[in-house]
Chain A
Amino acid sequence: MTPDQPPGRPAGGLISPAQNTWCPGCGNFSIQHMMKSAIAELSEEEGIPLENFVLLGGIGCHGKLADYLNVNSLYAIHGRSIPAATGIRLANPDLKVICHVGDGDIYAEGLDHLIFAAKRNSDITVIVHDNRVYGLTTGQYTPTSPTGFKGRSTPGGITEHPINPLEVMLAAGATHIARGYTKKVRHLKDLFKEAVMHRGFSLIDVLQICATYFNLTDYYNEHAYEMQEGEVDTGRFESALGKIREWDYDREASIPLGTFYSVEKPVYEEKFQALTAGRPERRALVRKVIEEWR
């Protein structure tokens, strides 16, 4: 059930004792193990204490990862993990806040939060388990399902086109945008580490196999490729946009994997930090406000 040979270092206590209930062959295993390795390696290489990582989950198969890793977690509700993540980062700038979300979870239910987190450059990482189908509710179309997709709620096939979430994110102001694939685990782990270390909002859309409801393994194996150095200028909006549009989640095309865009912008949470620093005696401040009232 785990990927063939985990390329990351073993991370001992990071796997929790919770019983794993994902289907055999689920792409979530790759994400789980690469997340675990990324955390372990970042902890060692960057000196980030393990207790400073916080994972958030929405609702869907992806969310179970919150249970399966022995790391601080807020297992939230459908589509709503992102504003909570911003809240956590607002409260404590030392924390590395990582949202694991699903494609239905965040591109449908929680799209507003996603766009606004990108817009304000909230210093959080969003990892989308994009299997392009609702798994836990047993097979309905999501915002990234291709045209014609036949699900249990749309037996005649959908007529609408999928959104290209990376294009949406670029337009919204995301400062770090990448795509990974659950069969390219080493690459995935590196993408995770890079995104977590990015100062500001980062999003990785992970093409994830749903072994039960939408198994695109052959399609992805055939079309996905890792972008090479210099293939995209990650500091340039237009270059990133061009590369992001190479595949629109719908028509047949080669699927670039890797980082499309990565730029520095002021981080949203930082301007609030000074206000509460040092935890002053606020009751005296309240008294002062009232006494000075005219």
Chain B
Amino acid sequence: MAEYSVLIGGKAGEGINTAGLSIAGLFSRLGYRTYMYFDYPSLIRGGHNFAIIRASDRTVGAHRTPVDVLLAFDQNSIDNHRQRIHSGTTVIYDASQVVRAEGYGLPLDAIVKEEKAPPITKNSAMLGALSRVGGIGREILDDVLRATVPAKHLEANLRVSGRGYDAAGEVFTVEPLDAPALPVLTGNEVTGLGLVHGGLDTYVAYPMTPSSSILHFLANRAEDLAIKVIHPENEIGVILMALGLAYAGEKTAVGTSGGGFCLMTESLSLAGMSEIPVTIVMGQRPGPSTGIPTYTAQGDLHFVLNAGQGEFPRLVVAPGDLEEAYAWSATALMLSWRYQVPAIVLTDKTLGEGAYSFDFGAVATPPDHEPVLWDGAGEYRRYARTENGVSPLAFPGREGAVVKATSYAHDEAGFTTEESEEVIELQEMRFRKGESLNAELATYPAVKTYGARNSGTTIICWGSEKWACIEAAEEFGARVVQPLVLAPFPARQWKEAMIGAGRVVCVENNATGQFARLLRQHGFDPGRPILKYDGRPFAVDELAARLGEVFA
């Protein structure tokens, strides 16, 4: 197995994220599958940012602790990562900043001064040195720079990268693979694209880490994708605007994190009662409250399952990688419209801001679903009683229809009612809709498994921990079971997936085992918990060590 790990670290504002993506691009150009974990504190300049790029001839979606190459712009980038350095690690550092290091010291200040290049080109010097260390030809390096650097800065970057290249020596050889160069995208970008696949007309959001980059990406691509992108005054305005758009016929999604979602819950309940479809991308980060804003967690599962006053059906899905993010964002939007329920795409910082090779061809294209529309016959009633609970939609402006949507308990036409019988009918109708959704989901891969059945050990995980678990499981020959749908809970598929599970552990990025609690609610045994709640995702080796303690 060919695989490489590279860490690049420096101060915020030095372009570490972009440099990391260039490194991923370099490996991608050689046919490798890549994954990048980006770690940064909540500040604009200074501090310590780092990215770990892992490249492999197989699919990767998690990092490992040791690195083969460490690119250090400052002393912290070495001192904070001593545990990652081993005998085979090559350290490349900025000799203008780092005083204690062994490896290739690049006098970056002198290089950029001599080349009359802006300081940001120091990243290209690192990229050049990395290429040399990995035996990657100059032409490939230049090609990657040409693809990523704006034309007016290209020449300076090529000169500086050449200096870095010349300053290092070849340590190992990254063999080109006979595989296509896949694009490297973040979970947020692919989630946005998936929403558009599902029929998105308009995206509405207020900035909040880790979901802001969906807003930025879609705003930047609004013309290319023919969508509207709107940034209103706050998250309350966001979801109300979305509901207004949807009431008038536009498929709309919003994106936020825990704090913003708190503000949306009042209107989540409105969506439940008024049956106006909306899709919410909920990118988790560690709470409570402001918590650790730029880090990761899976601590809001029960929050999204239960948010909003009253009882109403909802769809909650939790993709674990790009291919799932694409398919399930599209599915969430389509099913939200098909069943007129709010849909939540539950992600986290790891998936949303992590970068992965995107194998578009490997996306399981979800089935198409159109909303049920009014046929124009007779008098229009927005909440007409039907067997499957779904009332046909009409939108304002439609001749012959008076479309009355409401937050109150209502009769079929949408007029307020407080009558016992009508209230019961309305509630039961809503839950028929939820049952219909549940029946529909039986035809989807709502629970996925990896590895052999009857292996005697099973690892349960959800969301972004998927790939760390799949890799770690291989060391134990264990099976991995991953729910994609969390509500309505796919109990039948779960039961089927867990036949012969043997010893079970449940891996989660939270302190209380929230998915385990959900399993117990549905009468399933979640096994033993393996929890991590420091705001960081599991490294594969770290998880393997924890599994070893349990399976020993």
Mark A residues whose CB is within 8 Å of B: 16-18, 49, 51-52, 54, 59, 64, 66-67, 70-77, 80-92, 94-95, 112-113, 116, 272, 275-276, 279-280, 282-283, 285-290, 293-294
Contact at A289–B406, with CB atoms within 8 Å?
no
Partner among B147, B250, B252, B396 whose Cβ is within 8 Å of the Cβ of A54: B396
Contact at A285–B185, with CB atoms within 8 Å?
no
Partner among B147, B234, B236, B249 whose Cβ is within 8 Å of the Cβ of A294: B147
Number of A-B contacts (CB under 8 A): 188
Q: How far does the alpha carbon of A94 sit from the alpha carbon of B249 in the complex, in Å?
A: 13
Contacts A94-B397, A113-B233 given; indicate if A85 touches B225 (C-beta within 8 A): no
Task: Count contacts on B: residues with CB < 8 A to the other chain.
Answer: 63
B281 to chain A, nearest CB (A): 16
Contacts A112-B233, A280-B226 given; indicate if A289 touches B193 (C-beta within 8 A): yes
Q: Check B221 for interface membership: any CB of A closer than 8 A.
A: yes
- Specify which chain B residues have a CB less than 8 angstroms from the CB of A71 in the assembled complex: 402
Contact at A87–B241, with CB atoms within 8 Å?
yes
A246 to chain B, nearest CB (A): 30
Contact at B244–A90, with CB atoms within 8 Å?
yes
- Specify which chain B residues have a CB less than 8 angstroms from the CB of A84 in the assembled complex: 240-241, 243-244, 247
Q: How far does the alpha carbon of A290 sit from the alpha carbon of B360 in the complex, in Å?
A: 8
Q: Check B159 for interface membership: any CB of A closer than 8 A.
A: no
Contact at A285–B226, with CB atoms within 8 Å?
yes
Partner among B147, B358, B396 whose Cβ is within 8 Å of the Cβ of A72: B396
Contact at A67–B415, with CB atoms within 8 Å?
yes
Contact at B227–A275, with CB atoms within 8 Å?
yes
Contact at A67–B396, with CB atoms within 8 Å?
no
A39 to chain B, nearest CB (A): 12
Q: Check B427 for interface membership: any CB of A closer than 8 A.
A: no
Name which of A74, A77, A89, A283 has the most chain B CB atoms within 10 A of its CB: A74
Contact at B228–A275, with CB atoms within 8 Å?
yes
Q: How far does the alpha carbon of A18 sit from the alpha carbon of B413 in the complex, in Å?
A: 10
Chain B 495-525 near chain A by CB (<8 Å), digits 1 or 0: 0000000000000000000000000000000
- Specify which chain A residues have a CB less than 8 angstroms from the CB of B358 in the assembled complex: 290, 293
Partner among B242, B402, B416 whose Cβ is within 8 Å of the Cβ of A70: B402
Beta-carbon nearest neighbor of A17 in chain B = B415
Q: How far does the alpha carbon of A275 sit from the alpha carbon of B404 in the complex, in Å?
A: 28
Beta-carbon nearest neighbor of A293 in chain B = B183
Beta-carbon nearest neighbor of B249 in chain A = A91
Closest 7 CB pairs of A and B: A87-B244, A91-B248, A84-B244, A293-B183, A83-B240, A75-B406, A294-B147
Contact at A290–B183, with CB atoms within 8 Å?
yes
Contact at A76–B240, with CB atoms within 8 Å?
yes
Q: Tell me which of B266-274, B430-438, B471-479 binds A.
A: B266-274
B35 to chain A, nearest CB (A): 16
Q: How far does the alpha carbon of A226 sit from the alpha carbon of B469 in the complex, in Å?
A: 74
Q: Check B152 for interface membership: any CB of A closer than 8 A.
A: no
Q: Which of B190-236 contact A (CB under 8 A)?
A: 193, 196-197, 199-202, 204, 221-228, 230, 232-234, 236
Q: How far does the alpha carbon of A283 sit from the alpha carbon of B185 in the complex, in Å?
A: 18
Contact at A73–B227, with CB atoms within 8 Å?
no
- Specify which chain B residues have a CB less than 8 angstroms from the CB of A73 in the assembled complex: 403-406, 414
Q: How far does the alpha carbon of A36 sit from the alpha carbon of B274 in the complex, in Å?
A: 24
- Specify which chain A residues have a CB less than 8 angstroms from the CB of B527 in the assembled complex: none
Q: Which of B275-319 contact A (CB under 8 A)?
A: none
Contact at A77–B222, with CB atoms within 8 Å?
no
Contact at A74–B405, with CB atoms within 8 Å?
yes
